Amino acid sequence: MAKKKKLSIAIQGIATSFHEVAALTYFNEPIDTIECLSFHRLCESLKNGEADYAVMAIENSIAGSILPNYFLLQEYHFSIIGELYLPIHMHLLTLPGVKLSEITTIESHPMAIRQCAEYLHALKNVEIRESDDTALSAKRVKEMKLKTTAAIANEHAAKKYGLQILEKRIETHKKNFTRFLVLTKRSHDKKESNKASLSFEVANEVGSLADALMTFKNNSINLTKIQSIPIIGKPSEYSIHIDVEWKRRKQYDDAMHQVLLQVKNLNVLGEYKKGKIEYK
C-alpha cells in the first residue's frame, strides 16, 4: 500500500512559529512546512506550486488587521478554504540564567511587539527591535548567544532552542487570538460553508455602501468584518472587504444576487466553514 504523501504548507516564519502551530492545528495530520520569511514569499510559494496550501495571518484581537495581507489577497486571487482562530500566548525568552535587569534589547515580529505593547512600554532603557519572525528571534538569541537580548515568542520556540521563559504571558490582553486564513489555488467543495469573504467597490455617492450592507441585513446575513483598502492609483477610492455568515445558504445566495446589482467588481475570496474561537 502506497504511503500517503504529506501536504506541503507554506507558512510565514520558521519551525515553532505561530504560523506553524496554526498549520498543524488546522490540518491535524503530519505536514511538510515551507518556511517563508515574508508574506509575499508565502504567496509566491503557493503560486509557483511549491506548496499545496498556505496559512496566512489576517488579524489579531489586540494588534488588529494585517492590512498588507489584504492587498496580497487581491493581487494573487487565491481561494480561502478555511479559517482558524489560534489562542496566542507571548513569552519573553532568554538564554538560561539571564535576569531581566541584564536585558538591553527585545526583538520579535512587529505584530508580536504590538500585542505586548503595554508590557514593553513599562520597561526602562530597553531597545525594541523588529524581526521577520518570532521563532527566528528565539533562534538568533540561542545561536548567537545573545546574553543581553530577549525574544518574544511561544513556548514551542523556548523548548526547541533551549531558552528559559523569563516572563510568561506578556500579551496586553489574556484573551488574545490571531485569525489565520487557509489558502489554495484550487477550487473546492462548498457544501458545508457558512461563511464567506468578499471584496467589492461602490460608487463614491452618499449611501452607496450603506445600501449594499443593508441588502445583507435584509436577508438575515450577519456581517462579522468590514475593512476598507485604498485602491492604488485611485485617490479617495477604496475596495471594501467584508466577512459574512449565514444559517441558510439560500439567504446568502439571494443577498449575493441583489448585491451584484449594487456594487462593482464583486469578488468572492472564499466560501468556507466558520472557525471556532476557544480561549485557553
178 flagged as catalytic = yes
Of all helices (H) and strands (E), which one includes residue 210? Answer: helix 208-218
**Per the residue annotation, which of 27, 39, 177, 180 is the catalytic one?**
180
39 tagged catalytic: no
Q: Is the dihedral of CA 114, 119, 123, 126 positive or negative?
A: negative
CA 69 to CA 279: how far, in whole Å?
Answer: 25
- Indicate which residue of 27, 178, 200, 215 is catalytic: 178
Q: Cell triple for residue 121?
A: 512600554
Cα(32)–Cα(36) distance, rounded to whole angstroms? 13
Contact 154, 14 (CB under 8 A): no
What backbone torsions phi and psi does residue 127 show, to the nearest 5 degrees?
Answer: -80, 135
Q: What is the spatial distance between Cα 146 and Cα 102, in angstroms, rounded to a whole number? A: 11
Distance from C-alpha of 196 to C-alpha of 144, rounded to nearest angstrom = 45
Residues acting as catalytic residues:
178, 180
